[in-house]
Amino acid sequence: MCFKIKGKWFWIVALFVISLIILLLWQPWKYTYSTSDLKTVSIISGIEIKKEHIEQNRGKLRIEIPKTYELLHIIISLGEYGQSSGMIYKDTEYYQEVQRYFKEYKQHPIVKKLSDSLTKSRGNYNKWKNYSAYYNFEGEKLIANSNYPFYSDNNFSMNLNLFLDFAEKSKFLAFYKNHQDYYQNQINQFEKKSMIKQIWSWLEMNFLVEYDSHRIVFSPLAGSTPHNTFAFKAKNYDYQETFIFVQGLDSYSQSFNGKLSKDEQRGLFISNLFTEIDHNYVNPATNNYLSDIAPAFSNFKKWNQQQGYSSIPMTFNEYMTWATFIVFAAENFEEKLFEKTRNIQELIMIQGRQFKEYREFNQRLLQLYQNKKNDEKLVDLYPEIINWAAENNKDFFDLSALIKN
């Protein structure tokens, strides 16, 4: 039986079909890359660095719990936000000691100010903690390290008097001094369990950029905290160093509601450390391929379905930093730990962070690395992984591709 559409209904149906074809070809819902996606993503700031600082730190890996950084986290732990959130790791005797020692100062103005700031936005954490590591106690004064730049959104510097007042009244420096053995044990554990020396060596063998020093800062009180990294390049000398802010190993016991084994906790700890430090290597490499990456990731929602990392270069860097860790782990982890860590990482990236194509990207980069020539570095595989992404940059609604075929 054949039905014929007559009169105005023919034109209505025809107009609908034509409109649908135009819509599917145009695809206005899709991300269109622009000139902003062709701009380099830099985490290296060129600054004046004193010769003395360079001589003291060249070739050194520094793992630290600075006084100022610990002061900040003690204050966070006393406030309402720290008490109720996972930002503070509470499952230690050290946390209980902090609460007992400083309980009389929970009403100090800086405690409330910090808590209110973090309650307003968890993202404000970086505005406090990044800059705290730039300061040193000299006697009972806080003195800025003049080798590092300061910016306007620096909450720590704007509240120095309150931090000093809290430190003086609570006798913080005496508390910090009395816990030196604990801090040193935490630092020793970090260095022993993190594979950090292997990570540094492996990254420098597989990328073109080189760093003269890495400074890793953490607190035993830091729980589920935002991690970040940035780097400095001396304008006046041949010298580059990085800052890396992460959690300590113990805090990972609370990950996945405490369901991870000790090995899985360590694998996640190394993964999170690696994927911060390797931004300093991956980002500069990515900048050399932006004109190829932008079209390869132009179907943006296919790759990234979260609110953050709202540009193609930032999204590609997340894929690449995390997949690079898997390549490292495949070479350096025992097979059982590697498989467990890869599964956890893919769960975080795909379900938690909404980078939907991560498993396939990850598998392809690992395959490329395992089949590379002996004289090739991981950085040499950029063209191949970008080509793979371009070939997979289609979705169900890509009618234009179907028409071409």
**pLDDT of the chain along its 405 residues, tens only?**
455 555 666 666 667 767 666 655 555 545 566 666 666 666 678 888 999 999 999 999 999 999 999 999 999 999 999 999 999 999 999 999 999 999 999 999 999 999 999 999 999 999 999 889 889 998 888 998 888 877 666 899 999 999 999 999 999 999 999 999 999 999 999 999 999 999 999 999 999 999 999 999 999 999 999 899 989 999 989 999 999 999 999 999 999 999 999 999 999 999 999 999 999 999 999 999 999 999 999 998 899 998 788 889 999 999 999 999 999 999 999 999 999 999 999 999 999 999 999 999 999 999 999 999 999 999 999 999 999 999 998 764 444 443 443
d(CA 47, CA 54): 12
Q: What pLDDT does residue 154 have? A: 84
**8 Å CB contact between 92 and 250:** yes
**8 Å CB contact between 274 and 199:** yes
CB under 8 Å to 131, separation ≥6 — which residues? 150, 154, 155, 156, 157
d(CA 173, CA 168): 8
d(CA 263, CA 389): 33
d(CA 382, CA 207): 11
Residue 235 CA, chain-centre distance (Å), reads 26
The partner residues of 265 in beta bridges, in order of sequence, read none
Answer yes or no: pTM beyond 0.85: yes
Best CA proximity match to 215, nearest among 238, 232, 198: 232
- CB atoms under 10 Å from CB of 249, counted, come to 22
Q: What pLDDT does residue 194 have? A: 97
d(CA 252, CA 239): 34
Q: What pLDDT does residue 83 have? A: 96
d(CA 153, CA 402): 50
**8 Å CB contact between 275 and 325:** yes
Q: What pLDDT does residue 23 have? A: 54
**8 Å CB contact between 76 and 58:** no
The partner residues of 61 in beta bridges, in order of sequence, read 214
Whats the size of the chain, residue-wise? 405
**8 Å CB contact between 385 and 365:** yes
Residue 301 CA, chain-centre distance (Å), reads 21
Distances (CA, A) of 260 to 95, 226, 252, 405: 22, 20, 8, 48
d(CA 210, CA 231): 11
Question: Tokens standing for 1?
Answer: 């039986």
Strand arrangement, sheet containing 213-217 = 44-47, 228-234, 240-245, 213-217, 61-64
The partner residues of 213 in beta bridges, in order of sequence, read 241
Identify the helix (H) or strand (E) that includes residue 214.
strand 213-217
Q: What is the DSSP letter of 261?
A: -
Q: What pLDDT does residue 46 have? A: 84
DSSP 312-350: HHHHHHHHHHHHHHHHHHHHHS-HHHHHHHHHHHHHIII
Question: Tokens standing for 245?
Answer: 């802010």
d(CA 316, CA 179): 42
Q: What pLDDT does residue 54 have? A: 94
Angle of helix 125-132 relative to helix 67-78, nearest 10 degrees? 150
**8 Å CB contact between 388 and 364:** yes
